[in-house]
Amino acid sequence: MATGETPFSMVYGSEAVLPVEIGQISSRVQYYQEGETMARAQELDLIEEKREQADVRMKAYRSRIMRAFNQKVKPRDFQIGDLVLRKVNPAGEVKKLEAKWEGPYKVIRRIGGNAWYLEDSKGKVLQRPWNTMHLKSYYP
């Protein structure tokens, strides 16, 4: 797990004893003493610290994953009037030797953060906006 702890230990503060371990004498079962309520109370007192450590590990894990993902992201920002190419179709419909990009198209309007309206070279506006991830700059 990313936290380094099992869900059982996060809730109860100790590892679960499996039924297999009860049938066969393991060191955990052998040295367990029924009357040690102080030791169990101390384990429960430390469970909050264990949860905080797991939370720190989880945040570090998330930041490593986010950093790895963001390294692959290519920022693309267009200005009105820029020439762009757009993806032809989803990858499954494009044959091996066919062009994967078509255009150029002129960017005419932005919608929201990443959607753009385009117009072709004849001045006809495309009927729907296109997301930035399906566009790339065109250099004549």
49 lies in the same domain as 13? yes
For residue 115, give the CATH number of its domain.
Answer: 2.30.30.140
On whether residue 77 sits in a domain, the answer given is no
Mean pLDDT is highest, among 2-6, 36-40, 70-74, 118-122, for 118-122
Among 47, 72, 97, the domain-final residue is 72
| Confidence check: pLDDT of 83 > 90 | yes
47 and 18 part of one domain: yes
Contacts of 84 (CB under 8 A, 6+ apart): 78, 103, 104, 105, 106, 107, 116, 118, 135, 136, 137, 138
32 confidence band (pLDDT: 50, 70, 90): low
Query: Per-residue pLDDT for 97 more than 90?
Result: no
CA distance 105 to 122: 10
Domain enclosing residue 105, as ranges: 83-137
Between 42 and 14, name the one with better pLDDT.
Answer: 42
**122 located within any domain:** yes
CB atoms within 10 A of CB 118: 22
